[in-house]
Structure 1
Amino acid sequence: MESVKRGDQKTRVRYGMLFLVFINVVINYLDRSNISVAAATFSKDLELSSVQLGLIFSAFGWTYAFLQIPGGLIADRFGPRILYAFCLITWSLATLFQGFARGFASLFALRLATGAFEAPSYPINNRIVTSWFPDHERASAIAMYVSGQFIGLAFLTPVLTMIQVYAGWKGLFIATGLVGIVWGAVWYFFYRDPLDHPRVNEAELTYIEEGGAVIRRANKNGGKASVWQWSNFQQVFSSRTLWGVYIGQFAVNSMLWFFLTWFPTYLVKYRGLDFIKSGYLASVPFLAACAGLLLSGFLSDRSVQRGVSIGVARKTPIIIGLLLSMSIVGANYTNDTAMIIFFMALAFFGSGMALISWVFVSILSPKHLVGLTGGIFNFMGNLASIVVPIVIGHLVQGGDFKPALVFIGALGLIGACSYIFLVGKIERVPMRDGEKEGALISA
């Protein structure tokens, strides 16, 4: 505590740490989505079929999804400063080497590596926000860093397009990889946990800790020993309500992964748009998704403040958003570029509204299994990153993209039905045998 400054007026160091996390998320999603910008070119150079392209799009998801729970455990055991720097640098190196890929196998393997090294990133984000922000500021903090995935892609997709125009797809991967490596060093230099930061004062520490922030880990082993018991997995897999949000999250992420993978290829190859123009138009749906996310969070919180039940306040924006996401099918019935982008933006706006679904992890999960439930929630949702690119690759083999958009729209309907019919009364799944609340390991 010697490094902690004293003073009556509390500092605002937590917002600086949140900004660092925001940049991490921007880079995180740049290295997920750069493959989609480069796809139209490298698929020709490497002579890849649509099926092979779908497999490469999905490769990231194989390792990312299946390492969610281990990633959460790793994030809970190691400090964010060192672990995040390690993850940033290693996934960025994997990204950089994609610029030297010579065929399907090498590119597929490097995308697997990217997903593996990114797996702990969101659990780390959750741990940082849990450490730096009191309960009543945490939802806003999470919304802010999550918005980085849309804001970053909206404004930087045109930049990625221009890099590819002037440096080729190889240069695109090298450039984005170098950015992440440099930022990994910046993160290590500037980030500190609350008790270790030289600029935070006692007033801010007291404020965030009394508000529920976890900045002292005196019981850091609490609950971990029991997480891997089979009975705990049975508990979080046997709840109909939890299955409802698992299925709903798969549907929400399906739309996201369409935009992160096939969307630019759809505009260029299947709609005949100019590559540079497509880069600018592709940013519009990401801005719409960001607007949907922020609007949904605001309306949901306002509803709770006005006395609306938690179930109605939290489920209604998600259901409306998932139903809106079905509007993507409308692009099948027009050849007008403006209308195509309109339907895409409307659908992604709806998907953004549904992204507040993360609130159900803390509302529904057993108190001692919040982390395990969050890891499974992430795992189920990110299965979409595997399934959706592969299925689309098969659906478009004949040169027609219409079945793929129907497929994405149908998943939106399934997600809405899941929240309507499976997610019943919103109440926490009860703890068993008087077990104690464990540590939060994922989000």
Structure 2
Amino acid sequence: MSGVQGTSGAWRTTWLLLTFMVVNFADKAVLGLAGPEIRADFGITRQEFGTAQSAFFALFSVAAIGVSALTRKVRTTPLLLVLALMWSAAQLPMLWGAAGFGTLLATRVLLGAAEGPAAPVAMHHVHGWFPQRERALPTAILLVGAAAGVAVASPVLTWVISHWGWRWSFGVVGLIGLVWAGAWRAWGSEGPLAPPVGKETEAEGGAGAAGAASSLGGSFELSVAADTVPLRRILLSGSFVTAAFGAFAAYWLMSTLLTWTPDYLESVVGWDLHQAGTLVGVGALANGAVLLVHGLLAQRSARRGDPPRLPVGAGAGLLMTVAGCAVATFGTTDSMWIKVPLMMGPMALAMVMLTVASTACAQIAPPSRRGLVLGVLTFVYALGGILSPLVLGGMVDRAATVSAGYQQGWLLTSGLLLTAGVLAALFCRPEQAARRLGAPATTGTATPVSPLAPAPPR
């Protein structure tokens, strides 16, 4: 593969997977946006609604590990196609007028099983197009898809709910997922740095080993050596544990915002559906801007060879502590002039940990185990998506007032962010962990190219 073709294909794949993540998080956002209408239609409490949201995560984490483990046997291109088709099919039954609360629970379980592996498999796939030093920006771009999915979904699905009814909000995201699956079938492909799978692994360890070691400057031997390290050493390293806990806290916040912010703004603040949906969308754009700026800064630093001013974990941990303070202020102040700016930046800083955790865990894992390690990371942080809807829903229902319940929930979220931030700042050191575990520093080379530059002609 030539340099031009390689870099062009790398960024084409990145943009396709960005769209994949946009659809993925639009699927997640739909239940929160339609929540008040669904509760009124089905006559359920917030606790029961929280159960429906948590049902999404019933198989999410298990599927994340199971399908990620398949990346050692099956190429990620067909895996991503199957996942997109499954989650699209899971949305469409809610278009049926007789579909009730039981159908909603069943389809959310199926949707979670299809979407659980989406992020780790997409990360693993895009890392096959970029060497280690170039991965921060494409990783951040994929995570921007989470924010963009919410930002796009909020106004669009709010309009759909207002004009067509809440059932069509599920139908729209399901149909869009089918369109993406068609595009991926046409243009999706494996990267030049993708690790071998199945029988290719045996071939790589045989006659091709010498050539691979020469072309990768010795990193092949490091990768083979790292493959002998027990998986538990990787998963019990301080860097993995604190990165995973930090991602758990960030995902708890993300799930809380997706599930409960529309209801909070309507029930406590007194806004209507359109106003609440707009603020949720703008807040998601702020999340995306934070992730993109962080990725661009990391990419520029890597290309210049500048040493980081702070260890990666310390920087991300500091940002999480700022976000934790912002969430506490957001939950205790009555002034919208303070609440809105906090959602536009300070609270969004916690999302950087999702990028840092993904790149850190990929860095300490050998290429052949990267997909599985990222799957375990997803298993851990997805627990935040399971617990936050249940815990906060129960707190609000049991509190003397809705306002008091939400305040307790925001303070709990703040404490979680502060604790995770401190631990990450102290113990997340992926560079040191990679050296101890023998993980290769890079898995290849690539010609740097701006992600904002137009693709060269074929």
- TM-score tier by shorter-chain length is 0.7 to 0.9
Aligned to 2:284: 286
Tell me how far apart the structure 1 counterparts of residues 9 and 374 of structure 2 sit (CA, whole Å).
Answer: 27
Q: 1:296 aligns with which of 280, 294, 297?
A: 294
Aligned to 2:334: 335
CA change 1:71–1:192 in 2 (3 A) is: same
Aligned AA for 2:257?
F
Aligned AA for 1:155?
V
Aligned to 1:214: 194
Aligned to 1:158: 155
Deviation of 1:294 (Å): 2.1
1:62 equivalent in alignment to 2:24: no
Deviation of 1:396 (Å): 0.6
Aligned AA for 1:52?
E
- Normalising by structure 2, we get a TM-score of 0.80
Deviation of 1:408 (Å): 1.0
Aligned runs of 1:193-208 on 2, under 5 Å? 193=190
Tell me how far apart the structure 2 counterparts of residues 46 and 346 of structure 1 sit (CA, whole Å).
Answer: 36
1:104 equivalent in alignment to 2:109: no
Aligned to 2:211: none
1:116 equivalent in alignment to 2:113: yes
Deviation of 1:30 (Å): 0.6
Deviation digits for residues 181-234 of structure 1 (CA, Å, limit 9, x no counterpart): 23222321232335xxxxxxxxxxxxxx5xxx23766743579999999x9353
Aligned 8 A contact 2:56 2:112 in 1: yes
Aligned 8 A contact 2:315 2:425 in 1: no
Aligned runs of 1:245-394 on 2, under 5 Å? 245-301=243-299, 305=304, 307-309=306-308, 312-326=310-324, 327-357=326-356, 358-365=358-365, 369-394=369-394
1:174 equivalent in alignment to 2:155: no
Aligned to 2:67: 71
Tell me how far apart the structure 2 counterparts of residues 145 and 425 of structure 1 sit (CA, whole Å).
Answer: 21
Tell me how far apart the structure 2 counterparts of residues 7 and 309 of structure 1 sit (CA, whole Å).
Answer: 28
CA change 1:137–1:41 in 2 (3 A) is: same
CA change 1:61–1:97 in 2 (3 A) is: same
Aligned 8 A contact 2:290 2:345 in 1: no
- Normalising by structure 1, we get a TM-score of 0.83
CA change 1:267–1:244 in 2 (3 A) is: same
Deviation digits for residues 76-108 of structure 1 (CA, Å, limit 9, x no counterpart): 433344332221121111112234474433211
Aligned to 1:402: 407
Work out the percentage of aligned pairs sharing the same amino acid.
Answer: 23
Tell me how far apart the structure 2 counterparts of residues 15 and 163 of structure 1 sit (CA, whole Å).
Answer: 32
Deviation of 1:431 (Å): 6.9
Aligned 8 A contact 1:325 1:351 in 2: yes
2:34 aligned counterpart, secondary structure: helix
Aligned AA for 1:91?
W
Tell me how far apart the structure 2 counterparts of residues 320 and 345 of structure 1 sit (CA, whole Å).
Answer: 18
Comparing 66-75 with 185-194, which one deviates more in the overlay? 185-194
Deviation of 1:240 (Å): 3.3
Aligned 8 A contact 1:129 1:141 in 2: yes
Deviation of 1:300 (Å): 4.2
Comparing 42-51 with 254-263, which one deviates more in the overlay? 254-263
Stretches of structure 2 that go unaligned for 5 or more consecutive residues are 206-222, 444-458
